[in-house]
């Protein structure tokens, strides 16, 4: 069940152009660090709301909700919603539980590999429901409630970072 929602933000083209100019001046590594830090700061309310909205039967689901900012991978780029982003901010719920165990196995190629056993993908069943359990969404409402907040926090963080760089010159 895919839910699509598009948000139009004016001025992003000018911002990307300015960040490209800044990348030429200070270097790609520093510009990438600015993007990662700003996205981390902007999506913090989404993470907090997802943890708040998560069902607290045992508390393990809430404890395993995390946020990661990374570059898009192949399966991200093949998505219909991919528009050439440089970084993605993901708020996700891991499938590890307190009774999950780490095992080391020897794979087909003769290499040792760490594998988690007894993982439970409870988050999908909680978010969308299944035959035995009604839906209890927690990730989608966290994102929908904070769309404007994420935009303003991202703008504030980028403004602070750009002004810091301008002061150094």
Domain carrying residue 54: 12-168
Classify residue 142: in a domain, yes or no. yes
What is the CA angle 144-79-17, rounded to 5? 75
Classify residue 138: in a domain, yes or no. yes
Task: Tell me what the mean pLDDT of segment 102-114 comes to.
Answer: 92
For the stretch 59-93, pLDDT in tens is 788 888 889 998 888 877 777 777 767 788 888 88
Classify residue 86: in a domain, yes or no. yes
Task: Tell me what the mean pLDDT of segment 33-59 comes to.
Answer: 90
User: Cα–Cα distance between 61 and 28 in angstroms, integer?
Assistant: 37
* pLDDT higher than 70, residue 115: yes
Classify residue 5: in a domain, yes or no. no
| 3-state DSSP of 101-162 | EEEEEECCCCCEEEEEECCCCHHHHHHHCCCCCCCCCCHHHHHHHCHHHHHHHHHHHHHHHH
Classify residue 6: in a domain, yes or no. no
Q: Please give the share of the chain, as a percent, with pLDDT higher than 70.
A: 92
42: which residues sit within 8 A by CB, 6+ positions away?
89, 150, 151, 153, 154, 157
Rg of the chain (C-alpha set): 19
For the stretch 10-31, pLDDT in tens is 776 777 777 778 888 888 888 8
Total count of domains within the chain: 1
């Amino acid at each position: 069940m895919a839910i699509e929602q598009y948000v139009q933000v004016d001025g992003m083209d000018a911002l990307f152009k300015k960040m490209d100019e800044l990348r030429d001046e200070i270097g790609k590594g520093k510009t990438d660090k600015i993007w990662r830090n700003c996205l981390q700061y902007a999506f913090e309310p989404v993470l907090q709301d997802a943890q708040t909205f998560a069902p607290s039967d045992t508390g393990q689901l809430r404890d395993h909700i995390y946020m990661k900012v990374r570059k898009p991978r192949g399966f991200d780029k093949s998505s219909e919603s991919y528009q050439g982003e440089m970084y993605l901010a993901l708020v996700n719920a891991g499938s590890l539980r307190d009774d999950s165990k780490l095992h080391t196995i020897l794979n087909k190629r003769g290499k040792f590999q760490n594998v988690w056993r007894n993982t439970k993908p409870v988050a999908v069943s909680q978010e969308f429901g299944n035959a035995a359990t009604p839906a209890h969404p927690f990730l989608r409402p966290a994102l929908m409630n904070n769309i404007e907040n994420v935009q303003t926090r991202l703008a504030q963080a980028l403004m602070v970072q750009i002004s810091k760089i301008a002061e150094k010159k």
